[in-house]
Structure 1
Amino acid sequence: MSAQRGEFGSRFGFIMAAAGSAVGLGNIWGFPTQAASNGGAAFVLVYLVLAFLLAYPVLMAELTLGRHAHGNMIAALAKVSRNGTQRGIGTLVGIVGIFTASLILSFYAIVSGWMLGFGAAYPLAAMGASDTSTWLTTFGESRNLLLMLIFMALTMVVVAGGVEKGIERWSKRLMPAMIVTLVLLSGYVLTLDGASKGLAVYLIPDVSKILSTELVFNAMGAAFFSLSLGVGTMLIYGSYISDEEHLPTLGAQVALVDVGIAVLAGFLILPAMYVAAERGVMIFNDAGGLLSEDTLIFTVLPALFESMNESGTFLALAFFGLMSIAALTSSISMLEVPVSFLVERFNWGRTQAAFVATLIITLMSAAIVLNFDDLFGLVITVSTRFSQPLLGFALCIYAGWVWRRDSLLTELAQNEASGELTLFMKWWPLYARFVCPAIIALILLRSL
C-alpha cells in the first residue's frame, strides 16, 4: 500500500470515521419525523430489521472491495474484473461514483453552511450583534456563499491532514462529542412540557401499519441511505483498513453505531417538536404530516429556541453544534472520494489533491447557490434518488457476480479465528449476488 494513501491506525478510529460518514444530517433531521409519520415504533422496528438485511450486506460489499484493492473505486472494480469489458464498465462506474460524491457534497456544503450560520447567530444575538445574527439566519446569495466556503475550508483542512492524522484524528474527537451532545440534549428536552407526547408518538407502535407496503419501502430507503452507501465513501474507507482486521466484525460495529445514533436522534427531535407545539409553534403541514428536514431545522426549532430566552441560546448553540459535527464527519468522507483518486492516479500529495478537489466542488456549489431555484432540487434528485442507488446496485453486481468467489472468500476469511468458513461467509456472497441488487432495484423503481 502506498504510504501516501495512509491507513487507519486503530479499530476505534475506523469505526468513528466510518460511522461519522454514515451519520449525516438526514439521520438527525429526517429519520425521526419519517418514523413518526410511518407508525412510530413500528417503522423503527422494520428499519432495524432492514438495516441488517439490506444495509449491512451492501456495506460489506463496499468495505470488502476496498480492502481487497487498497485503492479507489476505479482501482477496486478493475482489480476484481476478469476481462477488458468488465474493467471498462468498472472504470465508468468509478468515474460516476467520484462525480456523484462530489455532486452530493456540492449541495451538502450549502446546507451545512447554514448550520454553521445558525450556530453562530444565537450567541452573537445574545452579545448584541443583532444585525450580524439576522444576516447569518436570512437566506441570501452572499450569506450562502460565505458559509459554504467556510464549511468547505474546514472539510479540506481535515482531509489534507491525511487518513490517520486528519480523518481518523478528527473523527475520534468529533464523533464522541456528537454522541455526548445528542444524549445531553435529549435528556434536557425530555424534561420540558410536551416532550412526553413526542416520545409517545415515537415509541408507541401503530401496529396497523407494520405490514404496510409504504412503511416497508420507506424503511428500506432509510436503511440504505442512512449508511452512506452507493457513492464509494465506504469503499474508500475500506481501502484504508489494515489487513489484520476482521471485516465482518468491523462492518457490524459501524452499522450498529450508525443505526443507534439514528434511533437516538428520535429521542431529541420528536420530543423537541412537541415541546415547540406546546409553546404555540406550528409543527404540522397542511396535509397533517409533521414538518421535517429543512423546515424543521430552520423554522420549527429556531421558534422553540426563541421562546426559551437565555436557555434557548445555549440549547440552540448545542443543537447547531451537533448538526455541524454531523455534517462535517460526512463531508470529509465525500471529499475523500475524489482526493483518493487524485492521489493514486496522478501521484499528487494529499494537500494538492485536497485543494484541487475542494476548488472544483466549491465552484460546483457556488453555481448552485447562484442558480438556487433551478439547480438545488435538481442536483439532490439526480445524485441521491437516481445515481446513488444505481451505484449501489453496480457495486453489488461486482461483489456478487464479477469477483471470483474463491478470491472474495479469501478476503473475507482473513483473520478468522476458526480458519473455517463461517455462516456469514457462506450466505453473504449469495445474498449480495441476488437479494441486495433486487432490493436496490426496488428502491430505484419506486423513486421513478
Structure 2
Amino acid sequence: MAARGEFSSRTAFVLAASGSAIGLGNIWGFPIKVASNGGGAFVFTYIILTFLLAYPILMAELVIGRYAKSDTVRSVNAVSTPGFRPLAFLTGYWGMLTASLILSFYAIVAGWMVSHGIGAVAELLGQSQTWFVADSVARSILFSAVFYVLTIAIVANGVASGIEKWSTRLMPVLILLIIALIIYIAMQPGAAEGWRVYLQPDFSKVLEPGLVVDALSQAFFSLSLGVGTMMIYGSYVSKSENLPKLGATVAGMDIGIAVLAGMLVIPAMYVAQHNGVVIYDDAGNLIESGRLIFNVLPSLFDTMGGAGAVVAMLFFALMSIAALTSSISMLEVPVAYASESRGIQRKKAAWLVGSGIFAFSLVIIFNAAWLFDWVVRIATEFSEPLIGILFCVFVGWVWQRDKLLQELKQGSPHVERTLFWKIWPTYVKFVCPLIVIGLLIRSFG
C-alpha cells in the first residue's frame, strides 16, 4: 500500500480543515439563524459557545486522528481498550456512514447552487435561465452529478495533489468573493438597517432557550464534528505541529467566515426588503427560511437591474466553492477507509465510493417529498450528536491519560503546564457530553 499522505505545512492544514468546516452551514445556515434569533444577540452567543463546546470536541477528533494516523475505524480502535473494541468499531463505521449520508443530500443542494450560478451566466449571455433555476428531477440529477465528479476528482488525487492543492486555491477565492459581495451590498439602499440588526445585540435575548439551543447546534455542526472528517484531517497532520493552536485557528477561521457570511446575507435581506421583497411575515417570522438562498436572494438580484446577474453569478460561485471544500472532506472519510483498511487503490476507491453515494442521492431525488428531510434529520440531529458524545467518551474515559498527554506533547512539549491541559481533559470528559445530550433531547422535544 502506498505511503499515507500528509499536509505539507500548517497553512495547508488550516485551509483544508477550515474548508471542511466552512460550508453551506456557515454561509447559508448561519445567517438564517441570525435572522431568526435577534441578529447580533445570536452572533454573540454563537461565538462564545463555539469555543465552549465545538473547540473541545474538535480537539478530541484531531488528537485521535494524529495519534493513530489512519482511517476513522482504525483510529478510534487505536485509542480503545479490549473491552471497548466493539464500541470503537461501531463508532468508526457509524461516523463513516454518517459522513456518507450527509454528502448524499449535501451534494443535491450543492448541485442547485451550481445550476443557479450557471443560470446567472446564461442570463448574462442573453439566454433563458428558467430551466437552471426551476425545480425538476432532471436538474437535480444533472447538477448533483456534476458536483460529485468535481468532488471525486479532487479526493482521488490524494492529500497533497488533491485535498491540499484545491483547498489552498479555493479558500482564498471564497474569502475574496465574500468580501467583494459584502462591499457591493453595503452600498445598496436598505443595507444600513441590516447592519444595525446584525451588529447591535439585544442582550435581553441572549439567554432565551431557543436562541441558546440554536447557537449550540450551529457551533457544533458548522465545524464538521461528529462524522470523522476532522479525525481524518488530523491524521494527515505532522507530529511536530501544536494541535491546540491548530484547532483554535480552525475554530477561529470557522467563526470568521460565518460572521462574514452574516455581513453579506443579513444586509442583503434588508436590501431586498427595501426593494419590495417580503422577508418577514406579519408575526415577524422569517419567510421560507430553508429556501432563503433560492427564493429571497434571487428576488433581490432581479431588482438590481443589469448588475443583478453578475452579483448572482458571483454569489452562487461562492456557495459552490464553500460546498466543494466541505464535500471533499466528507468523501475522504469513507475513501480513506476503503484505501487503507480494504487495500483498494485510492483513485478506484474514490470513484467506487463516490458513485455509491451518488446512487443513494438518486434515491433521495426521486423520493424527495419525504426522504430528503428524513435523511437530513437522521444524519444531523441524531447521528452527529451521538457520535460526538462517543468521541468524548473515548478521549475522556477510555484512552489512557498519559498516552493522550504524550501525543499532545509531540507538537507542544510544555502543554502540561498550559491552561488548555488543565481544563480540556476534564471538560471533554464531563461537560461536553452533557451539553450534547441536552442538545439531542432538545432537538427531539
Query: TM (normalized to structure 2)?
Result: 0.97
State the alpha-carbon separation in 2 of the partners of residues 293 and 328 from structure 1. Answer: 23
Residue equivalent to 2:248 = 252
Residue equivalent to 1:288 = 284
Matches within 5 A, 1:169-248: 169-248=165-244
Cα pair 2:76 2:88 within 8 Å, conserved? yes
Cα pair 1:141 1:370 within 8 Å, conserved? yes
2:91 to 90, 93, 117: 93
Distance 1:97 1:286, change over 3 A: farther
Q: CA deviation at 1:5?
A: 2.6
SS at match of 1:135: helix
2:123 to 116, 122, 125: 125
Q: CA deviation at 1:285?
A: 3.9
Deviations 1:346-405 (A, max 9, x none): 112210110111011000000000111121011001000101101111111111101000
Q: Which stretch of the first structure deviates more once superposed, 196-205 or 110-119?
A: 196-205
Q: CA deviation at 1:297?
A: 0.5
2:27 counterpart of 1:28: yes
State the alpha-carbon separation in 1 of the partners of residues 288 and 418 from structure 2. Answer: 42
Distance 1:417 1:367, change over 3 A: same
Residue equivalent to 1:113 = 111
Cα pair 1:30 1:292 within 8 Å, conserved? no
Deviations 1:13-49 (A, max 9, x none): 1101101101111211121231232222222111111
Amino acid at match of 1:338: P
1:301 to 287, 297, 301: 297
Cα pair 2:213 2:439 within 8 Å, conserved? yes
Amino acid at match of 2:126: G
SS at match of 2:364: helix
Deviations 1:251-277 (A, max 9, x none): 000000000100111110010011011
1:384 to 374, 380, 386: 380
Distance 1:401 1:420, change over 3 A: closer
Matches within 5 A, 1:419-434: 420-434=416-430
Residue equivalent to 2:308 = 312
State the alpha-carbon separation in 2 of the partners of residues 342 and 299 from structure 1. Answer: 40
Cα pair 1:82 1:402 within 8 Å, conserved? yes
State the alpha-carbon separation in 2 of the partners of residues 293 and 334 from structure 1. Answer: 25
State the alpha-carbon separation in 2 of the partners of residues 29 and 372 from structure 1. Answer: 20
Amino acid at match of 1:290: L
Q: CA deviation at 1:308?
A: 1.2
Cα pair 1:33 1:291 within 8 Å, conserved? no
State the alpha-carbon separation in 2 of the partners of residues 188 and 111 from structure 1. Answer: 26
Amino acid at match of 1:371: N
Residue equivalent to 1:59 = 58
1:261 to 238, 248, 257: 257
State the alpha-carbon separation in 2 of the partners of residues 4 and 362 from structure 1. Answer: 28
Amino acid at match of 1:25: L
State the alpha-carbon separation in 2 of the partners of residues 235 and 286 from structure 1. Answer: 45
SS at match of 1:309: coil
State the alpha-carbon separation in 2 of the partners of residues 142 and 305 from structure 1. Answer: 25
Q: CA deviation at 1:330?
A: 0.5
Cα pair 2:98 2:227 within 8 Å, conserved? yes
Q: Percent same amino acid among aligned pairs?
A: 52
SS at match of 1:230: coil
Residue equivalent to 1:277 = 273
SS at match of 2:285: coil
Residue equivalent to 1:14 = 13
Q: CA deviation at 1:437?
A: 0.6
State the alpha-carbon separation in 2 of the partners of residues 47 and 419 from structure 1. Answer: 27
Residue equivalent to 2:38 = 39
Distance 1:399 1:286, change over 3 A: farther
Q: Which stretch of the first structure deviates more once superposed, 414-423 or 111-120?
A: 414-423
Cα pair 2:124 2:310 within 8 Å, conserved? no
Residue equivalent to 2:406 = 410
Q: CA deviation at 1:126?
A: 2.4
Residue equivalent to 1:347 = 343
Cα pair 1:32 1:202 within 8 Å, conserved? no
Cα pair 2:405 2:416 within 8 Å, conserved? no
SS at match of 2:417: coil
Amino acid at match of 1:104: I
Distance 1:293 1:12, change over 3 A: farther
State the alpha-carbon separation in 2 of the partners of residues 317 and 430 from structure 1. Answer: 48
Q: CA deviation at 1:290?
A: 2.2
State the alpha-carbon separation in 2 of the partners of residues 356 and 293 from structure 1. Answer: 35
Deviations 1:185-227 (A, max 9, x none): 0011000000001111111111211222222211111111111
Q: CA deviation at 1:3?
A: 4.5
Give the alignment's Cα RMSD to 1 decimal. Answer: 1.3
Cα pair 2:416 2:422 within 8 Å, conserved? no
State the alpha-carbon separation in 1 of the partners of residues 155 and 51 from structure 2. Answer: 30
State the alpha-carbon separation in 2 of the partners of residues 363 and 419 from structure 1. Answer: 46
Unaligned runs of 5+ in 1: none
Cα pair 2:415 2:421 within 8 Å, conserved? no
Cα pair 1:32 1:270 within 8 Å, conserved? yes
Deviations 1:95-133 (A, max 9, x none): 111111000000000000000000000121222321xx2
Deviations 1:47-68 (A, max 9, x none): 1111111110000000000000
State the alpha-carbon separation in 1 of the partners of residues 56 and 282 from structure 2. Answer: 39
Amino acid at match of 2:93: I
State the alpha-carbon separation in 2 of the partners of residues 165 and 188 from structure 1. Answer: 35
State the alpha-carbon separation in 2 of the partners of residues 58 and 309 from structure 1. Answer: 46
State the alpha-carbon separation in 1 of the partners of residues 439 and 255 from structure 2. Answer: 19
Residue equivalent to 1:335 = 331
Q: CA deviation at 1:420?
A: 4.6
Q: CA deviation at 1:418?
A: 3.6
Distance 1:303 1:233, change over 3 A: same
